[in-house]
Chains A and B, each alone.
Chain A
Amino acid sequence: MKNLAVFIVLIFGLTFIATAQKVENKVVCFKSDMDCANCEKTLTEHLKFEKGVKDLKVDHVSNTILIGYKDGKNTDDGFVKAIEKKGYKAEKISKADYDKVLKETAEKSNVHEAEIHKVRK
């Protein structure tokens, strides 16, 4: 039973460290040209193992990419190259623009889904 307690503390400790370390030094956002879920997956799997990556959001619906990374480990241009290497466009945009695009897409898809529901009914 004691072993169990130690282990649980250890697990939670690790969890805490893992979450606590999530301090992003730098964030870079891109507009891209993905067509499908497949592209999103390819890019996610590729970018998450680039140097310094701490946070990553790839979305093919809004065609945006957000990368949080440790400063000094990589550069914005490094990511441009990584994205282009896989054959995608990487147009740097500001965080504000990124948020805006995401918001617009979310609204649009809500309308779209509502329409589908209407058609069905």
Chain B
Amino acid sequence: MRKLIFIIYIILPFISNAQNLQGVVFGNEEDGKTTLPGVNIYWQGTNRGVVSTDEGTFEIKKGNNQHMLVFSFVGYETKVVHVDNLDKLEVVLEPNLEIEEVTVVKKDRGTYLSAMETIHTERIGSAELHKAACCNLAESFETNPSVDISYSDAVTGAKQIRLLGLDGIYSQLQIENLPDLRGLATTFGLTYIPGPWMESIQVSKGASSVVGGYESIAGQINAEIKKPDSGEKLFLNAYANHHGRLEFNANTSLKVYKDMLSTGILVHASGLGIRNDDNGDGFLDDPLSKQLQISNRWKFTNYKGFMIQAGINILTEDRLGGQVGFEEGMAQSVSNPYGISIKNNRVTGFMKSGIVSQDQRTALAILTNFTGHKTNSFYGLTNYDASETRFYGSLILTRDLDKNAVHTLNAGVSFIHDNFSESLYNINLDRVENVPGVFAEYTLKPVENMTLMAGIRADSHNMFGTFVTPRMHFRYKINDHLTLRANAGKGYRTANIVTENNYLLAGYRKLQWHDKNMQEEAWNYGVSLVQDYILWGRELQINTEFFKTDFHSQLVVDRESSAEFVILSPLSGKSYANSLQLDVRYQPIERFDVLLAYRLSDTKHTIGGELKELPLNSRYKGLLNLNYSTNLKKWMFNYTIQFNGGGRIPRHYEEGQNLTDISGSFYAFQPYTVMNAQVTRYFRYWNVYLGSENITNFKQPNPIEGAYNPFNHGFDASNIWGPVVGRKVYLGVRFLLNYN
């Protein structure tokens, strides 16, 4: 037996067709290249490697399927080189200036604020996405201090976010740095990105870089989808909650050609088939729903500076809500129960490509996406149908103006085509936007501690003329403990009068608008200070930030001046949003993370000639998030409590209304608390999570006004400030199989 093993051992190298690859490793020092001894060299994903000799040379066996050679050495940037022949290799490693950044094993920290980035950005990693059910993008912010998430109304199940105290429409949503989830997808788009598809989310506050466009007034939220070459072979996820909601997700990826071409398929199916009316108002708490999504994406890279990614996504969604007795196919009539039906069909495609020059100093990128979206809906007797075709394209050139990247220039052109066709109350609202634009952004990084970024863009809009968007960002790392950031910038967006406000159709009052088309314009200023300390051997992070948004023109939704109409009119007077936030992150005992955050919002706008608080918006928010994982991370416990401040309810006072009705809670809502908790158990290939949302079962009392008379005066399902749905208990399982 032993002899046989010996023989196999001898001939194995020949039959496995391994050949030797030779090369030299250098370090790029100030006085030129020097050979580097002791560098770890290994094939990516394998455990076998070699160490370079005193002269920097190495020799390593190369198998047929091995292409990615990794070079790693303390004090230098790790480099991965693609090899497809046996030519002698010369590799130059760049020194890593920040020694402390060389972490051997990357620790997944959930959410963190980077000290390196110019724009104040919160990064939400996969660890954070495991802390809650995170069925979709909307639900991923439950443990986040900066982004608020709430129901838009009590009947459609639509969720909206708020950043810096401003509605989600003022934040630019992106998928992989391409503007998305806008236009017709504004209302439901946040539920269009399934949680298990996402790799990470970045939330940046304040007007962001001009490269991304003239939108993003309050900030930018970018979701990164799992890449086909990430090594995930198969991922399965199933979720169920006790209200009857079921979700299923499956992702798979495949290497098609060597390590260069890979493809991924992502599938999502979810639905709610059970009619729930826990508050007994005769209306479904959540509409019955079905959503199907399939996505296919491709990635090609030649490892010599060229990369292209493309993909397509098809979505179909059906919502049926309203009174419990309403069935699919029933006529829209006052003699039948009040029904709501919303059908969405959407196709999106994207293509991104980039090429980097030999000397790594120049890069050219093309970013494009396309969306076709159709909505057919009715709310009681009101029909709303719409379709949108959108194309976005951008060409960006990045160039380091000198060898040490002290001066960098980003410049390019972009084009937006947006074709809307909407019909409401038998009125057609059609519009075509064509917006070519040019932009340039200059980054100055005189020292490692400081970055100054100044950008400007000019866009020529076929409806609103030419406008200029200046933006500026500044970062200064004062010392090891303090990082200061400041930004100022302008933003514009086209208000989609009906699309953005279609949840208001769930009421008796009709929408009334002054202008069919209008552009919103605002300035945003912000300053933030991130403090990092080591306290009793553990990292303590304190973040303080203040942001101010000042509107010059805005579409104001007036729900309080008229008994017959919800008035959508241009702002006349002041409108601003101030947001002051403090958050502290610390680990008091090992593996026990605490996040404590508090935010004060002061958002006011002029309605009917009077400066009033933005309605249905909490004046403050407190958040405590506790996360504990056991040794070896086999168990993870997460607990979140949100303290939401009170606010204003927009109501129209009517003649003859009883004065006792309007005392206290008529115009205001009180602070309330929401609690979530989840336990996750990890196994080698799978993990199970059990959790509960809204543990205390807090529900907004009477979310639907006039619920018993939905076709009549007084019916309104859109005055929502708190949870519509009570306690939810859910169970989910994830299965993950990686390559190698």
Known contacts A3-B675, A7-B675, A15 near B592 by CB under 8 Å: yes
Docked Cα-Cα span, A14 to B677, in Å, equals 14
Interface residue from A41, A56, A60 paired with B632 (Cβ < 8 Å): A56
How far, in angstroms, from A86 to B45 measured CA to CA in the complex?
Answer: 12
Does B47 touch A at the CB level, under 8 Å?
Answer: yes
B105 x A40 contact (CB < 8 A): yes
Residues of A within 8 A of B626 (CB): 11
Q: Which residues of B contact A18 (CB under 8 A)?
A: 628, 630-631, 635
Shortest A17–chain B CB gap in Å is 10
Contacts of B48 in A (CB 8 A): 35, 87
A11→B628 contact, CB < 8 A: yes
Within 8 A of A (CB), among B63-113: 70, 72, 74-75, 95, 99, 104-105
B70 contacts which chain A residues (CB < 8 A)? 36, 38
The answer on a CB contact under 8 Å between B631 and A37 is no
B42 at the interface (CB under 8 A from A): yes
Q: How far is the CB of B694 from chain A (nearest CB, A)?
A: 12
CA distance A48 to B633 in the complex (A): 9
* Structural contact, A38 and B42, CB atoms closer than 8 A: yes
Chain B, residues 618-647, CB within 8 Å of chain A (1/0): the string is 000000001010111111010101000000
Kindly state whether residue B464 has any CB partner on chain A within 8 Å.
no
B16 to chain A, nearest CB (A): 14
A55–B684 CB distance below 8 A: no
Write out the residue numbers on chain A whose beta carbons fall within 8 Å of the beta carbon of B639.
Answer: 7, 11
- Kindly identify which residue among A35, A46, A54 contacts B40, using a CB–CB cutoff of 8 Å: A35
State the interface size on chain B (CB cutoff 8 A).
39
A28 CB within 8 Å of chain B:
no
**Chain A's nearest CB lies how many Å from the CB of B4?**
19
Partner of B637, one of A4, A14, A42, A46: A14
B632 touches A36 (CB 8 A): no
Chain B positions 118 through 138: 1 when the CB is less than 8 Å from some CB of chain A, otherwise 0:
000000000000000000000
List A contacts of B684 (CB < 8 A).
Answer: 45-46, 49
One of B75, B105, B677, B683 near A37 (C-beta < 8 A): B105
Judged by a CB distance under 8 angstroms, whether A80 is at the interface is: no
The answer to whether A4 and B47 touch (CB under 8 A), given A15-B592, A22-B631, is no
Contacting residues, chain A, for B589 (C-beta < 8 A): 15
Quote the shortest CB–CB distance from A56 to chain B (angstroms): 6
A116 and B76 alpha carbons, distance in the complex (Å): 10
Query: Is there contact, CB below 8 Å, between B696 and A3?
Result: yes
Q: Note all chain B residues with C-beta closer than 8 A to A40.
A: 104-105
Select one of B42, B74, B633 contacting A113, CB under 8 A. B74
Chain B residues with Cβ under 8 A from A35's Cβ?
40, 42, 47-51
B409 in the interface, Cβ–Cβ < 8 Å? Answer: no
Beta-carbon contacts of A44-88 to B below 8 Å, as 1s and 0s? 011011000111100011000000000000000000000000111
Q: Please, which residue of chain B has its CB at the minimum distance from the CB of A50? A: B684
| CB nearest neighbor in B for A43 | B47
Does residue B44 face the partner (Cβ distance < 8 Å to A)? Answer: yes
Question: B688 interface residue, CB < 8 Å from A?
Answer: no
| Interface residue? B695 (CB, 8 A) | yes
Q: How far is the CA of A39 from the CA of B631 in the complex (A)?
A: 20
Q: Are B40 and A36 in contact (CB under 8 A)?
A: yes
Beyond A55-B631, A116-B74, is A38–B44 a contact (Cβ under 8 Å)?
Answer: yes
- A90 CB to closest chain B CB, in angstroms? 13
Q: Output the residue of A48, A53, A86 with the most chain B CB within 10 A.
A: A48
Please state if B630 and A87 are interface contacts (CB–CB under 8 Å).
Answer: no
Nearest A residue to B626 via CB reads A11
* Chain B residue contacts of A61, Cβ below 8 A: 104
A113 touches B675 (CB 8 A): no
Which residues of chain A have C-beta atoms less than 8 A from B51's C-beta?
35
How many angstroms between the C-alpha atoms of A86 and B631 in the bound complex?
A: 22
Among candidates A3, A55, A112, A120, residue contacting B74 with C-beta atoms closer than 8 Å: A112
CB <8 Å contact, B99 and A116: yes
CA–CA, A114 to B677, complex, Å? Answer: 46
| Proximity string of chain B (352-389) to chain A, C-beta cutoff 8 Å, 1 when within and 0 when not | 00000000000000000000000000000000000000
Docked CA distance A113–B503 (Å): 60
Chain B proximity of A110: nearest CB distance (Å): 12
Given A15-B592, A116-B74, A36 and B628 contact (CB-CB distance below 8 Å): no
Please measure, in the bound complex, the distance between the C-alpha atom of A4 and the C-alpha atom of B695, giving whole angstroms.
10
Q: In the complex, which residue of chain B has the Cβ closest to the Cβ of A55?
A: B631
* Alpha-carbon distance between A88 and B42 when the two chains are bound, in angstroms: 14
Partner of A3, one of B40, B635, B695: B695
- A 96-119 binary contact with B (CB < 8 Å = 1; else 0): 000000000000010011001101
Asked whether A29 is an interface residue with its Cβ less than 8 Å from the other chain, the reply is no
Report chain B residues within 8 Å CB of A112. Answer: 74
Within 8 A of A (CB), among B157-205: none
Chain A, 1-20, CB within 8 A of any chain B CB: 3-4, 7, 11, 14-15, 18
Find out whether the CB atom of B695 lies under 8 angstroms from the CB atom of A88. no
Chain B residue nearest to A116 (CB atoms) is B75
Residues of B within 8 A of A34 (CB): 47
| C-alpha spacing A87/B740, complex, angstroms | 12
CA distance A15 to B679 in the complex (A): 13
- Residues of chain A with a CB closer than 8 A to B72's CB: 36-37
CB <8 Å contact, A42 and B47: yes
Q: Which 10 A-B pairs have the closest CB atoms?
A: A35-B49, A49-B684, A116-B75, A39-B47, A48-B632, A37-B104, A18-B630, A35-B42, A36-B42, A36-B40
**B interface residue numbers (CB < 8 A to A):** 29, 40, 42, 44-45, 47-51, 70, 72, 74-75, 95, 99, 104-105, 589, 592, 626, 628, 630-635, 637, 639, 641, 673, 675, 677, 683-684, 695-696, 740
Q: Which residues of A contact B (CB under 8 A)?
A: 3-4, 7, 11, 14-15, 18, 22, 34-42, 45-46, 48-49, 53-56, 60-61, 86-88, 109, 112-113, 116-117, 119-120
CB<8 Å pairs between A and B, sample of 26: A3-B695, A3-B696, A4-B675, A7-B639, A7-B677, A7-B695, A15-B592, A22-B631, A35-B48, A35-B50, A36-B42, A36-B70, A36-B72, A37-B105, A38-B70, A40-B105, A42-B47, A48-B632, A48-B634, A49-B683, A55-B631, A86-B47, A88-B47, A109-B74, A113-B75, A116-B74
Given contacts A3-B696, A14-B628, 17 further A-B contacts (CB under 8 A): A4-B641, A4-B673, A14-B637, A15-B589, A15-B592, A18-B628, A18-B630, A35-B42, A36-B49, A36-B72, A37-B104, A53-B632, A54-B631, A60-B104, A86-B47, A113-B99, A116-B74
